[in-house]
Amino acid sequence: MAKLLVPPHILSRILNHARSESPLECCGLLGGHRTTSDWHVKSLHLLINELASPTRYRSEPASLLKALKAVRLAGEEVVAIYHSHPTSDPVPSLVDRDWHWADDVVDLIIGLAGSTPQYRAWLLNPWPAHEVLVEEWSGFRGDVGQASHFQADLKIRDAGEDQIDAHKRANYPQA
């Protein structure tokens, strides 16, 4: 079975992003590289859900452009996108199928219906969706030039948190 290999600190940040945006859907992009059968995640790019909806997401263009440029500059490719389902399980909906990113990009879904977030990854085309195993990996294999956790953390901090916070302050109703 094909695998989406995600460093634990990136997976943790994705789950935190989903929780922090709830009850709205969150979305983001994962950069890295693909081998014959696996997708290796190296960077996390938080995106703004311009729909601010509990049932739909659409990446706000400026945050998406910033993420795509960062992926390209790092010599990576888009290996996965992620989004949350605040009130349901991490199973693709028909809307997810119709709005999927690309045939060779994994769709990681975070389900927040239970007391503990659940996540599952999918290839959405051809339909019905095919599940991809999500496996945590350290990213260290002795490769020359392999990104360190420090470098990966810098990528996360530069990935748009300030932009998301500013968007929330400007566009979300204050409680």
Q: Which residues are catalytic?
A: 25
Instruction: Judge residue 99's burial from the number of C-beta atoms within 10 Å of its C-beta, 0-12 exposed, 13-18 middle, 19 or more buried.
Output: middle
Distance CA 59, CA 57 (A): 7
Dihedral sign for Cα atoms in the order 139, 143, 148, 153: negative
Three-state secondary structure call for residue 156: helix
Q: Tokens 């051809």, residue?
A: 126
CA angle 130, 147, 75 (to 5 degrees): 70
Distance, CA of 14 to chain centre: 6
Distance, CA of 89 to chain centre: 16
